[in-house]
């Protein structure tokens, strides 16, 4: 299984951006740490693996229950910041730089969790089969993944605002291509887990809004230029960032509520299964 393109991506500029924005991303994505843990129900003493743990927020939250959490991620810069943050927030949590599709824990896990860290495998069924082998029989899986881009205004709005300045609209990747929206189809997720040998698969929609980070519209626009599908399109097409930023600033001004905060629709699957 060749995950090298994603490994390079998360060890390059993308990983550095997620390091720089770690605190803001954690605030924006906090509802999904809560939703995953509400499904996972970690218990003191359990061994937990957090797949694609990034800067560690879900690992820290899982550790609060007294569990022994190991975060696994391919990104060296993100694991470095996770270890630094863990000193204050979850000293017992451990972090490993590894491709989660090929890594096995010394002791099998009771629980595997992830917040948006499982959609980047070249061969997801093979990856989830390997993850299942690292989980005790009867162990639990609980993760959050995005539903399709079209249902996620927080990611779609920046692309629509930038369209007049892009050389071409970003082509939607073929279904299943590794990336943030690879698990958008409920049937695809269900098939992947069934092929990988997981049972009692339960896929529940989460619908709500998330608050875009930023102290003011300019700051929010800068954030949107950095993260998500728009940042990829800008990098690939060599677009004039200043013009895109102006368009984003006016969109954010239009959408912000009276208190100056921008909430946009988010659509997520909360997926549970048993090993």
Q: How many residues bind ligand SAM (CB under 6 A)?
A: 24
Q: Using the rule CB under 6 A, which residue among 28, 74, 131, 268 binds ligand SAM? A: 74
Q: Using the rule CB under 6 A, which residue among 72, 86, 162, 227 binds ligand SAM? A: 72
* Beta-bridge partner residues of 71: 50, 95
- Pick between residue 98 and residue 201 the one whose CB is nearest to ligand SAM: 98
- Pick between residue 6 and residue 220 the one whose CB is nearest to ligand SAM: 6
Asked if residue 121 binds ligand SAM (CB under 6 A), the reply is: yes
Which x/- pattern over 81-110 shows residues binding ligand SAM (rule: CB under 6 A)? ------------------xxx---------
> Judged by CB under 6 A, which stretch of 70-78, 192-200, 219-227, 247-255 contacts ligand SAM?
70-78
Asked if residue 130 binds ligand SAM (CB under 6 A), the reply is: no
Residue 214 C-beta: closest distance to ligand SAM, Å: 18
> How many Cβ atoms from other residues are within 10 Å of residue 66's Cβ?
12
- Pick between residue 15 and residue 214 the one whose CB is nearest to ligand SAM: 15
Residue tagged 């989460």 (tokens): 206
- Pick between residue 68 and residue 119 the one whose CB is nearest to ligand SAM: 119
Q: Using the rule CB under 6 A, which residue among 47, 85, 115, 147 binds ligand SAM? A: 115
- Among positions 4-63, residues that touch ligand SAM (CB under 6 A) are 6, 10, 25, 29, 52-55, 57-58
Distance CA 8, CA 144 (A): 23
Contacts to ligand SAM by CB under 6 A: 3, 6, 10, 25, 29, 52-55, 57-58, 72-75, 78, 99-101, 115-117, 120-121
């Amino acid at each position: 299984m060749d995950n090298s393109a994603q490994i390079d991506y998360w060890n390059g500029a993308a990983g550095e951006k997620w390091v720089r924005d770690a605190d803001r991303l954690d605030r924006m994505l906090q509802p999904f740490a809560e939703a995953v843990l509400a499904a996972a129900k970690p218990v003191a003493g359990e061994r937990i693996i957090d797949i694609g743990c990034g800067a560690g927020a879900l690992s820290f939250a899982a550790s609060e229950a007294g569990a022994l959490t190991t975060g696994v991620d391919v990104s060296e810069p993100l694991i470095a910041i996770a270890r630094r943050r863990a000193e204050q927030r979850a000293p017992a949590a451990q972090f490993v730089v590894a491709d989660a599709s090929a890594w096995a824990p010394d002791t099998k896990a009771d629980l595997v969790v992830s917040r948006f860290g499982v959609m980047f495998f070249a061969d997801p069924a093979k990856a989830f089969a390997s993850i299942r082998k690292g989980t005790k029989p009867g162990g639990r899986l609980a993760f959050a993944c995005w539903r399709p881009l079209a249902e996620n205004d927080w990611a779609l709005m920046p692309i629509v605002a930038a369209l007049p300045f892009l050389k071409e609209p970003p082509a939607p990747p073929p279904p299943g291509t590794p990336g943030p929206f690879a698990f958008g189809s409920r049937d695809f997720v269900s098939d992947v887990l069934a092929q990988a040998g997981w049972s009692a698969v339960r896929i529940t929609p989460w619908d709500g809004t998330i608050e875009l980070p930023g102290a003011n519209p300019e700051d929010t626009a800068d954030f949107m230029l950095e993260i998500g599908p728009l940042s990829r399109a800008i990098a690939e097409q060599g677009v004039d960032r200043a013009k895109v930023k102006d368009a984003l600033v006016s969109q954010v001004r239009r959408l912000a509520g009276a208190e100056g905060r921008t909430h946009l629709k988010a659509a997520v699957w909360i997926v549970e299964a048993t090993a």
